[in-house]
Structure 1
Amino acid sequence: MGFVVWHVCADQHAYSRREAHRLEGTDQWARNSWEVASRVWRVQRARWRRTRVPGFGALQTKPLCASLSDRVFSIDGSKHVHPSANDGFPDGQEKADQAFRAARREAVYEKLRDPWFYPKGALMRTLGWTSVPCIWETLAEAYRDVVALIDEHNPHHEPIRWTYASVHEEIRAFAAGLRHHGSMKMQPGDMVALFSENSARWLVADQAIMWNGAATAVRGTAAPVDELAYILEHSNAVGLVVDTPNVLEKLVRNENATRYLISHIRFIVLLWRGKGALTEDVQALGASVPMYAYEDVVKTGAQQVRNAIEMVSTSAGDGLSDRALWHPLASTEMLATLVYTSGTTGQPKGAMLCHRNLLHQIYCNSFSRSWRPFRPSQDASAGEVMVNILPCWHIFERTSELYALSRGVTMVYSKLLHFKEDLSRHRPHLMVGVPRLYENIYQGIKSQLMKQRRFRRLLIFGLLDVSIRFVHWRRVRDGALFDRHVSMPERLLACIVVMLLWPLHILADLIAWRRLRQAALGGRVRTLVSGGGSLAMFLDDFFEAIGVLLIVGYGLTETSPVVANRLREHNVRGTTGLAVPGTDLKIVDPETRQVVSAGQTGIICARGEQIFQGYYKEPEATSRVFDSDGFFDTGDLGFFSPHTGDLVITGRLKDVIVLSNGENVEPTPIEDTILGSEYVEQVMLVGQDQRSLGALIVPNLDALEANALLNAEQRMRIQSLQRERATCGSFEAGALDEQLAREAASLEGNAALHTALQKELMTRIESRKNYLPIERVTRFRILLTPFTVDDGTLTQTLKVRRNAVSARYAALIRSMYES
């Protein structure tokens, strides 16, 4: 039977309106953001009003499948009913009840698999998930034979292709092994340090630890050993999971780490044991701390599951006594993970994120909140492919993975060395990255174009200019400008210009952009997601011009991370979009802490289900970042657009440069403008307590040569030194840095190059909207040692560590201002 019901998005629309009412007494423009979202939901409700779902009178927010999952469990792809499940029920009634619930559950799964159905997050709220690992039973049933994980670049170089059913079984087996293998005896509330780079086994380990009610303290292995030792000790870890023995070799060379490992760690698990013998230092550590291989732990856990199945099949005895074999032990408010902030200054702090925080991101993150005819949802859908390049332990990548996997996406783990190859081989539909990743893609495309013959190069750049003009006028037509009001005559004019440019834009797509998307992104990319830093406007223009949707989000580690993002139907460039459902935002004055009006810059404060519990073992630091109303102080500067209601990020309070005349300058927007130059690869502004701004510039050598500002011999010599510097040890680095410094001084002595760079800086900065004279960069120095993660000048999300760069080049900066 079927009942005509309201579509789930009607419930979501009501949810959005309730959230708008919660903003009473806060900033008016935050409410405007919700009003825009509410209007979108009203359109969607009208178009999707009547939908037939078997067995539903209405979609409730209470769990639909909880009672069924208590009675039915899945092992190795087959369904089993607990013997106690039939107690008190006649066989016929029980069978009818099971059939009804199975049909009801299948109706939900069908909607999850439907690419036209959204918002999927609202439907997921009905599934009764109480923790993050609870999602895997649902995903194993909804997307059973869909490939979930592809890992071809793991340390064993053994390609992994796991379906959703396989991932569920692997997680459950590893979780059981953590409780029963050897002397591990993992218990709810334990803290386990997880130091690893991207791999399928990382995800399994992370989810299995959470399954047992324990929490992970995560970090990448490229982090400095002192930082890893600090996290290990500060988190009070009782266990350690690492990807390879190399991490242990790194740790045992640190005195503090070795002492803590021997005195406090109960077990160590190697995700990838390696083919060769362990070093003497690691073997000595193994004599003091039990050390286990991933395969052995999974084998023990799988045997525990099989034994329980056999017991359940014969009687209801001890097979049901270990609840964790059937259901995760974690609950909504339990600590799920400690993510240590990799900020650009200071000692990292452990942000405590609970399961509620992460589930909010699964439910509420979306690329679109409205329905459009003849177009499927822009959100991730079952069977689509997503290539991952960001560190899997970083909260942005982590929640992006959970979001995509909850929608049935195939996740491909890539590495920087194989990234271009993976784009061509797997041809992703979605990609999540930081601005630096998209800058590299953009620079790579421009470098290839610069090598084309003159006529072809001029043709493509001419077409690009036409397409950029087209998208600019299209934004005016749609009123999608955050910094000014678009009048009706302007819109009418824009409509005419768009119609005139449209044939040329389509021609450019046929001639160039399709081939470019194929060569650079695999040809199927529909959506790019950017976060973790400020995105330069020229990147927005470029990707929109070549026909790729670029979605920008905003958040921090402490906010799990997304608090606002742009949408397909409301994609206002230069902004970070509207607040996600269930989130309150306000802008306050840094001094008075009073809410400011629209268009005024202040500190962004957020409140919602995704906000963290606090900093681990640092109650004073926690109390400083929350106000009396429960709003979290992000420390970022921004404002609400008075024209669209979108959130605009202008910089970070701690990054502001104060000149000697007392003027405050936010460096990030100026740096983003400078990065639009083909001559500039990396840049960082300086000038604290100076009369004017200066810049440290890492130039694009290929572009300099293409414009006859550098000869081929000098370019090859510098690039050879740079490659040698990137792979050398610390002993040789000093000598190579001196050689590169001499080459940089030689470039600065090139009058034509110096003049071209100075002119480029002046032209780009002075062309900025609302340009102020204090933003002029009056001097610069060339650096030929790029900022990297390995030398500590970049964070692992590729943001410049300003304090590290300033300290390293203090003498150079001082000489720049003294000269």
Structure 2
Amino acid sequence: METSLLETFLTRARQQPDWPVLDFERKRFTAGELAQRVSAFARALVHHGLKPGERVALFLENSPAFVIAYLGTWSAGGVVVLVNTQYRQVELGHILSDAEARVCVTGAEGAAELAPLQARLPALEWLVTVEPPPGPMPWPTHDFDALLASAPASAALRLPEGDALAVLGYTSGTTGRSKGAMLLHRNVLANVRAVTEAWRWTNADRLLLALPLFHTHGLMVGLHGTLYSGGSVDLRRRFVASEALAALSEDASLTMFFGVPTMYGRLVEEARRTGARVRPLRLLVSGSAPLSPQLFEDVAETFGQRILERYGMTETIMNTTNPYEGERRPGTVGLPYPGQEARVVDVRTRAPLGAGETGEIEVRGPHVFAGYWRRPDATAEAFDAEGWFRTGDLGERDADGYFRITGRARELIISGGFNVYPREVEEVLALHPSVAEVAVLGLPDPDFGEQVVAVIVPRPEAPPEAQALVDFCKDRLASFKKPRRVVVVEALPRNALGKVQKHVLRERLQG
């Protein structure tokens, strides 16, 4: 029985070396070619002194080099530290210092961003760059291709054990500094088995993948599923709506596309603008941010297919999914994957709640991470005595077992003693013809404790009046849920995957 995803991939690569696993910018990698490069990268790391358990940071955009360095770090016994390519010196300094990364794999822009941080990163000993750095670097620096070519053939490699640390995935850090979630090889393997089983993923599947690999959705769903199933992936450097739509319309080999709601919204706009029609695919998946019922219907109307929405997070990879066969309910994230559990509990008493009651979602199973890196306090706070992990997400479960996310526990607004769930208000405001986008949050209020604030991006053809939006909510929701303040902005701040950054909005409004 294999103990890691790496072992699964390498075994299949030996048995089927001609398996066309990866395409990137008109270059194809067979499994045999990819495995050879993975081994060379691993041997180079070992030759340069990397020891089991030491950390290698990947501050790198989508490319075959990312895949090779990711699997190669595992093959050398190392731990991968995933770094968002949008991060700059404050975030980089914290993550690489906290993880004590010994090596960083990056590009020219990444190297330039890292250079001023030498004094803050005493553990970082050398860099690997996939393109020439912009100038002299304060660390020894190795060219990626040259490193592979010079790797000694004699360095011994061992497959990782299931309980070995595989990945440090840093949480988005919406409150305080981000923490490193410790995912073990057995967590990774258990989850990819559950996902591929639930979605009927086979070696006949070919995925168009334009999600960033530094994130759970692109890496631990898209790439992991491909490697485990024996399928293939058309990897893109980044998402460009026109290019993705052209591929989905013209490439008959593609069977799947995974995206975030922002991507699907842009695909719908592009399809309506150009009149292009996407060929029927086996599976469209959305996640990483809430998919509105309206966008669900827009995709179904435009592409003739119903999106499968799922729910996951850095600490647990994937938690729940709408069924592959059966009803895909808009506004819900489905049921737990095979071999996993989920429930809703009262946010104060922690007692399990029944169907239709709102509380915090907790999950349990072999996919759940081992805890936060060097943060036993945060780890103890996140788990109960029976191993249930507190996700921090508010939600409810209906009578059929489908889960619905209603917001973040920390985003719950308590106004005048009443609980207000931001997503409920957002869904109402999104129905107003003058509203293009909306985010609802709570701000301090001397009378009510917190006031409900709606931040609106208006449609250009019909800018809204604040009072009209308040009245629109009052006609559809309890009075205490209506916004007491409406703020109009040109755009909502979002992270790399399109998720609205409410902590940034809150700071701006309070500032």
Could you state the TM-score of these two structures normalised by the residue count of structure 2?
A: 0.90
Which amino acid counterpart does residue 487 of structure 2 have in structure 1? R
**2:421 aligned residue:** 666
Which of 265, 283, 293 is the matching residue for 1:537?
293
**Equivalent-residue separation in structure 2 for 1:417 and 1:554 (angstroms):** 21
Q: Would you say 1:266 and 2:139 are equivalent positions?
A: no
**Equivalent-residue separation in structure 1 for 2:357 and 2:391 (angstroms):** 17
**Equivalent-residue separation in structure 2 for 1:417 and 1:580 (angstroms):** 28
**1:298 aligned residue:** 148
Match of 1:406, SS state, is: helix
Which amino acid counterpart does residue 648 of structure 1 have in structure 2? R
Question: 1:332-481 maps to which residues of 2 (within 5 A)?
Answer: 332-366=162-196, 368=198, 379-400=200-221, 401-416=223-238, 418-425=240-247, 427=251, 428-445=254-271, 448=273
Q: Would you say 1:578 and 2:365 are equivalent positions?
A: no
**Equivalent-residue separation in structure 2 for 1:620 and 1:779 (angstroms):** 37
Q: 1:652–1:687: structure 2 CA closer, same or farther, 3 Å change rule?
A: closer
Which amino acid counterpart does residue 55 of structure 2 have in structure 1? M
- Structure 2 residues not aligned, in runs of 5+: none
**2:87 aligned residue:** 223
Question: 1:4-153 maps to which residues of 2 (within 5 A)?
Answer: 128-141=1-14, 144-152=17-25
Q: 1:675–1:658: structure 2 CA closer, same or farther, 3 Å change rule?
A: same
How many residue pairs get aligned? The number is: 500
Match of 2:279, SS state, is: coil
**1:693 aligned residue:** 452
Which amino acid counterpart does residue 688 of structure 1 have in structure 2? L
**1:802 aligned residue:** 502
Which amino acid counterpart does residue 410 of structure 1 have in structure 2? S
**Equivalent-residue separation in structure 2 for 1:594 and 1:420 (angstroms):** 49
Q: 1:419–1:164: structure 2 CA closer, same or farther, 3 Å change rule?
A: farther
Structure (1 or 2) with the larger CA radius of gyration:
1
**Equivalent-residue separation in structure 1 for 2:443 and 2:124 (angstroms):** 45
**1:772 aligned residue:** 478
**Equivalent-residue separation in structure 1 for 2:469 and 2:200 (angstroms):** 39
**1:754 aligned residue:** 464
Q: Would you say 1:568 and 2:324 are equivalent positions?
A: yes
Kept after mapping to 1: 8 A contact 2:241/2:266: no
**Equivalent-residue separation in structure 1 for 2:80 and 2:11 (angstroms):** 23
Which amino acid counterpart does residue 417 of structure 2 have in structure 1? G
Question: Deviation at 1:226?
Answer: 0.8
CA deviations on 1:181-214 (whole Å, 9 max, x unpaired) are: xxx2222111112211111110110110011111
**1:166 aligned residue:** 33
**1:622 aligned residue:** 379
CA deviations on 1:215-274 (whole Å, 9 max, x unpaired) are: 0111122112210111111001111211x1221211223xxx21144x32232111x224
**2:115 aligned residue:** 252
CA deviations on 1:682-711 (whole Å, 9 max, x unpaired) are: 32224434465332212343xx1xxxx4xx
Which amino acid counterpart does residue 486 of structure 2 have in structure 1? F
Which amino acid counterpart does residue 435 of structure 1 have in structure 2? P
**Equivalent-residue separation in structure 1 for 2:24 and 2:473 (angstroms):** 43
Which amino acid counterpart does residue 429 of structure 2 have in structure 1? I
Which amino acid counterpart does residue 359 of structure 2 have in structure 1? G
Q: 1:232–1:408: structure 2 CA closer, same or farther, 3 Å change rule?
A: same
Kept after mapping to 1: 8 A contact 2:44/2:147: yes
**Equivalent-residue separation in structure 2 for 1:140 and 1:678 (angstroms):** 54
Which amino acid counterpart does residue 699 of structure 1 have in structure 2? P
Match of 2:443, SS state, is: coil
Q: Would you say 1:233 and 2:97 are equivalent positions?
A: yes
Which of 600, 605, 614 is the matching residue for 2:357?
600
Q: Would you say 1:647 and 2:400 are equivalent positions?
A: no
- Structure 1 residues not aligned, in runs of 5+: 1-127, 153-158, 309-321, 369-377, 450-515, 710-752, 788-792, 812-819
**Equivalent-residue separation in structure 1 for 2:90 and 2:217 (angstroms):** 24
Which amino acid counterpart does residue 618 of structure 1 have in structure 2? R
Which amino acid counterpart does residue 382 of structure 2 have in structure 1? V
Question: Deviation at 1:414?
Answer: 2.1
Q: 1:150–1:680: structure 2 CA closer, same or farther, 3 Å change rule?
A: farther
**Equivalent-residue separation in structure 1 for 2:104 and 2:394 (angstroms):** 38
Kept after mapping to 2: 8 A contact 1:187/1:213: yes
CA deviations on 1:563-612 (whole Å, 9 max, x unpaired) are: 11111223341321111122122222111111222222221111110111
CA deviations on 1:521-565 (whole Å, 9 max, x unpaired) are: x42433111111222111222333442131111122111x11111
Kept after mapping to 2: 8 A contact 1:179/1:186: yes
Question: Deviation at 1:761?
Answer: 7.0
Which amino acid counterpart does residue 177 of structure 1 have in structure 2? A
Q: Would you say 1:637 and 2:418 are equivalent positions?
A: no
- Percent pairwise identity: 28
Q: Would you say 1:203 and 2:63 are equivalent positions?
A: no
**2:412 aligned residue:** 656
**2:283 aligned residue:** 527
Kept after mapping to 1: 8 A contact 2:241/2:270: no
Q: 1:323–1:668: structure 2 CA closer, same or farther, 3 Å change rule?
A: same
Structure 1 runs (4+) deviating above 6 angstroms are none
Kept after mapping to 1: 8 A contact 2:283/2:307: yes
**Equivalent-residue separation in structure 1 for 2:410 and 2:426 (angstroms):** 16
Could you state the TM-score of these two structures normalised by the residue count of structure 1?
A: 0.58
CA deviations on 1:319-357 (whole Å, 9 max, x unpaired) are: xxx551xxx431100000100001433211000001011
Match of 1:233, SS state, is: helix
Which amino acid counterpart does residue 169 of structure 1 have in structure 2? Q
**Equivalent-residue separation in structure 2 for 1:170 and 1:524 (angstroms):** 35
**Equivalent-residue separation in structure 1 for 2:295 and 2:407 (angstroms):** 18
Q: 1:558–1:300: structure 2 CA closer, same or farther, 3 Å change rule?
A: same
Match of 1:523, SS state, is: coil
Kept after mapping to 2: 8 A contact 1:215/1:338: yes
Question: 1:719-730 maps to which residues of 2 (within 5 A)?
Answer: none
Q: 1:386–1:149: structure 2 CA closer, same or farther, 3 Å change rule?
A: same
Q: 1:673–1:398: structure 2 CA closer, same or farther, 3 Å change rule?
A: farther
**Equivalent-residue separation in structure 2 for 1:148 and 1:535 (angstroms):** 30
Kept after mapping to 2: 8 A contact 1:558/1:611: yes
**Equivalent-residue separation in structure 1 for 2:231 and 2:475 (angstroms):** 44
